[in-house]
């Protein structure tokens, strides 16, 4: 009998399948314990095919993280150009997107892995800092600076430490990973309450 021809995949489709398989492996085993052959087996392809698309495990993980966070930053970053939108509303949108697109999906596992295993893999953390953190901080500096100029911050010094805005998002990842089975955290309430600590109420006093 003639040999059955192997089904061909469009390169982008194959790349997407590899990323899907990698996500499942990372979520189940962690970054350090996952091997390229594990990803290949999950995708149902040869290990060499994985290497055709991704040179190493770090690049696989970087692509996954970028695919999760970059669209979120893009949406919030677009608001920086619209000065009519209040900074509080922009930050609130960031929290809403983070909750819906990360916390409430399996994507949260990627950020959990960065927190847990990042120090062992400097290539990954360096990329995350350079391409995600610095861009996010740049967006927040503009928004918080605008809020400080308009007198909308309870403490104008917050504009100098935009990392504070990321604090409840990171805390939510840590809490849901470690303690959610013991005590549920209402993340929406956390975000709303934190916004109240940052911004002056409309028409109100500090």
Domain co-membership, 19 together with 64: no
Structure confidence by residue, pLDDT tens digits, 128-173 = 999 889 999 999 999 999 999 999 999 999 999 999 999 999 999 9
Query: Do 77 and 151 reside in the same domain of the chain?
Result: yes
41: in domain: yes
Q: Which of 73, 69, 55 is nearest to 18 (CA)?
A: 55
Same structural domain, 73 and 122: yes
- Report the CATH number at residue 159: 1.10.357
Q: Is residue 206 part of a domain?
A: no
Buried b (16+ CB within 10 A) or exposed e, 24-33: bbbbeeebee
% pLDDT > 90, the chain: 68
102 and 37 within one domain: no
Give residue 191's pLDDT.
97
pTM surpassing 0.75?
yes
Residue 202 pLDDT = 74
Whether 2 is covered by a domain: the verdict is no
Q: Residue 27's domain spans which residues?
A: 7-55
Does one domain contain both 77 and 164? yes
Number of domains present in the structure of the chain: 2
The rounded average pLDDT for each run of 10 residues, N- to C-terminus, in the chain (206 residues) is 51 92 93 95 94 94 87 83 90 92 89 89 91 91 95 96 95 92 96 97 64
pLDDT of residue 140: 93
Task: Specify whether 49 is located in the same domain as 100.
Answer: no
List Cα–Cα distances, 88 to 31, 116, 156, 171, 192, in angstroms: 36, 31, 14, 20, 10
Q: How far, in Å, CA of 188 to CA of 92, rounded? A: 10
Q: Is residue 125 domain-shared with residue 142, that is, in the same domain?
A: yes
> Which long-range contacts link 53-62 to residues 24+ away (Cβ below 8 Å)?
53/11, 53/14, 53/15, 53/18, 54/18, 57/31, 58/121, 58/123, 58/124, 60/18, 60/19, 60/22, 60/36, 61/22, 61/26, 61/31, 61/110, 61/113, 61/121, 61/124, 62/123, 62/124, 62/127, 62/128
**Residue 60 neighbours by CB under 8 Å, 6+ apart:** 18, 19, 22, 36, 39, 50, 54
Together in a domain, 114 and 177 = yes
Do 91 and 181 lie in a common domain?
A: yes
Between CA 172 and CA 111 the distance in angstroms is 11
165 burial level (CB within 10 Å; 0-12, 13-18, 19+): buried
| CATH number, domain with residue 16 | 1.10.10.60
Task: Please check whether residues 14 and 103 belong to one and the same domain.
Answer: no
**Residues 102, 123 share a domain:** yes
Instruction: Looking at the structure, tell me whether residues 78 and 165 fall in a common domain.
Output: yes
């Amino acid at each position: 009998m003639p040999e059955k021809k192997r089904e061909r995949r469009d390169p982008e489709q194959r790349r997407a399948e590899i990323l899907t398989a990698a996500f499942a492996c990372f979520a189940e085993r962690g970054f350090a314990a996952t091997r390229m052959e594990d990803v290949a087996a999950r995708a149902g392809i040869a290990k060499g095919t994985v290497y055709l698309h991704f040179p190493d495990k770090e690049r696989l993980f970087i692509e996954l993280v970028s695919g999760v966070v970059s669209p979120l930053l893009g949406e919030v970053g677009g608001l920086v150009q619209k000065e009519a939108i209040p900074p509080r509303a922009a930050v609130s949108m960031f929290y809403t997107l983070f909750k819906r697109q990360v916390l409430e999906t399996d994507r949260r596992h990627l950020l959990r892995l960065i927190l847990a295993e990042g120090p062992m893999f400097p290539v990954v953390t360096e990329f995350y800092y350079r391409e995600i953190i610095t861009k996010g901080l740049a967006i927040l500096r503009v928004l918080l600076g605008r809020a400080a100029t308009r007198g909308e911050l309870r403490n104008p010094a917050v504009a100098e430490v935009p990392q504070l805005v990321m604090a409840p998002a990171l805390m939510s990842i840590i809490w849901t990973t470690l303690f959610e089975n013991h005590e549920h955290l209402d993340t929406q309430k956390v975000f709303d309450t934190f916004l109240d600590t940052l911004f002056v109420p409309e028409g109100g006093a500090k």
